[in-house]
Amino acid sequence: MQKRVAFIGLGNMGGPMAGNLLDAGFAVTVFDLSAEACKALADRGADVADSADAAAQACDFLISMLPAGKHVSGLYLGEAGLLVTLNEKTVVLDCSTIDADTAREVGEAAAEQGIAFLDAPVSGGVAAAKAGTLAFMCGGQAAAFEAAQPVLEAMGRASFHAGPAGAGQVAKACNNMLLAVHMLGTCEALAMGEKHGLDPQRLSEIMLASSGRNWSLEVYNPWPGVMEGSPASNDYQPGFMVDLMAKDLGLAADVAESASVDNRMGLLARELFAAHQAAGNGSRDFSSVLESYRAKKG
């Protein structure tokens, strides 16, 4: 029997994710405040609901991809929240990147209602969302993680059970803080070499074969023209926006502070990306931070 999925939130990530579920043979009902985003999915075979509540009726899986914790709590909690009306057999996955406290709150409320819930933020960006190669970091009960495998496999290449509710958000904060740090280090190294006359492509090859090898250098090279298909080779469009990296580094700072962890590298990364954001680069790919290094005199 065809499984039914309700998908709420069809932005740059949610739209492609819902499309991959359609391609995998799921019956998908979508809702978003953007009529254009809904139409794009309707043209591919999705049903369009006129509200989140209507979308969530009689579904096997409910997936949400929303901007912030306040939107997630508003969707699920309270007398008008979806947890009150959902069928207890529905498996809920919130793929938003939000604060761990909100994820825990929603997870606990879902457990009280007997509903399987995962906070399941993703890694990979827009390109991976389109290709169906996302990585999911999931917090919640192990049984919920197992039940969610059919939809996770349709949208991604890997999924991990990180621990109880909120653990997915903590894992995402750790991952993206590290991503920011090694992207900044890669930009700094390439700019330093280029200032001394080294070809950025040759320097990239040298570091990839040496101990400086990292994901930013290997998969997402920030220097224009070095890597075909990277945002850097397309005027830093599309990709993972600076605005989103700045948001994630704020979440990482909160996670570190709540556990009294000295995360001075993460805080410096937050400062540098905030400056790049303030310079008008919020909608560009985060690897565009390279330009702040190339612009320095000397």
Q: CB–CB of 180/245 below 8 Å?
A: yes
Distant-in-sequence, close-in-space partners of 51: CB < 8 Å, separation ≥ 6: 31
As a three-state string, the secondary structure of the chain is: CCCEEEEECCCCCHHHHHHHHHHCCCEEEEECCCHHHHHHHHCCCCEECCCHHHHCCCCCEEEECCCCHHHHHHHHCCCCCHHHHCCCCCEEEECCCCCHHHHHHHHHHHHHCCCEEEECCEECHHHHHHHCCEEEEEEECHHHHHHCHHHHHHHEEEEEEEECCCHHHHHHHHHHHHHHHHHHHHHHHHHHHHHCCCCHHHHHHHHHCCCCCCHHHHHCCCCCCCCCCCHHHHCCCCCCEHHHHHHHHHHHHHHHHHCCCCCHHHHHHHHHHHHHHHHHHCCCEHHHHHHHHHCCCC
Structure tokens at 193: 């070499």
Q: Beta strand pairing status for 47-48 and 91-94?
A: unpaired
Q: What are the residue numbers of the active site?
A: 172
Question: Burial of 150 by CB count in 10 Å (0-12 exposed, 13-18 middle, 19+ buried)?
Answer: middle
